[in-house]
Amino acid sequence: MQAATTIICVDCGGTCHLLAHPETKFEPGDPVAYRCADCMDRWDLVMPDEEDGRGDEPAAI
């Protein structure tokens, strides 16, 4: 599965961009890193299991 290319920063509301190449495939449980363009915070998320009912959005740790 592919990770979202951007997410919203929880701290400042800015846009966080995926640090891996956008075409990178991830498995459930893989860590995915994002960096906020506004406040420069880094967010590390875990790709969800396909069976957890959360859809395609990564789950925060």
Residue 31, pLDDT score? 95
Residue 52, pLDDT score? 57
- Smallest CA-to-CA distance from 12 within 44, 45, 56, 42 is with 42
Residue 7 main-chain phi, psi, to 5 deg: -135, 170
Residue 1, pLDDT score? 87
Task: Provide the residue ranges of all domains of the chain, joining segments of one domain with +.
Answer: 6-50
Residue 49, pLDDT score? 85
Indicate the burial class of 58 (C-beta count within 10 angstroms; 0-12, 13-18, 19 or more).
buried
pLDDT tens digits, residue range 14-61? 999 999 998 899 999 999 999 999 999 999 999 998 765 555 565 555
